[in-house]
Amino acid sequence: MMISTKGRYALNILLDLSQHADEGYISLKKISQRQKLPIKYLEAIVSVLNKSGMVESLRGKEGGYRLTKKPEDYTIGSIIKLAEGSIAPVSCLESENCAQACHCLTLPLWMKLEGLIDAYLESVTLKDLLEQKIS
């Protein structure tokens, strides 16, 4: 599995915030209820989105989160990469460089596969999902 609940829930959070963008700050409690996802887990996920500037937060009563950009300015690729850390389909494409990399028959395959996945996910935005504009 390349995309776990971290990436999927991050997407759910941002889609929920998009759909309620006119209601000011939205609390995790509301998102948790609407999306039927555990609030304590969402806390950990939204923390990453917040630190990267994808959302902004307000503490205290009437607090919550809201988008910092328009839905069309969030690519699915950027969201997944942030929440998951990477979209590499195989571990040899990540940080630690494989010892046999220079004479590996399969490395070009994995690189092309990752490029394909990246290109597709970068071509789709939150707005496309909201408008159901997938194929």
Candidates 25, 31, 105, 118; binder of a copy of itself (CB under 8 A) is: 105
Task: Give CA separation, 80 vs 63, 71, 96, 101, 108, in Å.
Answer: 25, 15, 21, 26, 23
Contact 76, 11 (CB under 8 A): yes
CB 56 within 8 Å of CB 66: yes
Residue 48 beta carbon to a copy of itself: minimum distance, rounded to whole angstroms: 18
The string of DSSP letters for 40-66 reads HHHHHHHHHHHHTTSEEEE-STT-EEE
112: left (phi over 0), alpha (psi -120 to 50) or beta: alpha
For position 125 contacting a copy of itself by CB under 8 A, the verdict is: no
Please tell me the distance from the alpha carbon of residue 81 to that of residue 58, in angstroms, as a whole number.
25
Query: Given the complex with DNA, which of 44 and 109 has the nearer CB atom?
Result: 44
Task: Check binding of 121 to a copy of itself (CB under 8 A).
Answer: yes
* Footprint of DNA on 27-66 (CB under 7 A): 27-29, 37-41, 43-44, 46-47, 50, 57-65
User: Could you say whether residue 102 binds a copy of itself (CB under 8 A)?
Assistant: no
- Interacting residue ranges for a copy of itself, rule: CB under 8 A: 1-4, 8, 11-12, 15, 36, 76, 88-92, 100, 105-106, 108-110, 112-113, 116-117, 120-121, 124, 129-130, 132, 134-135
Binding site for DNA (CB under 7 A): 1, 4-6, 27-29, 37-41, 43-44, 46-47, 50, 57-65, 91
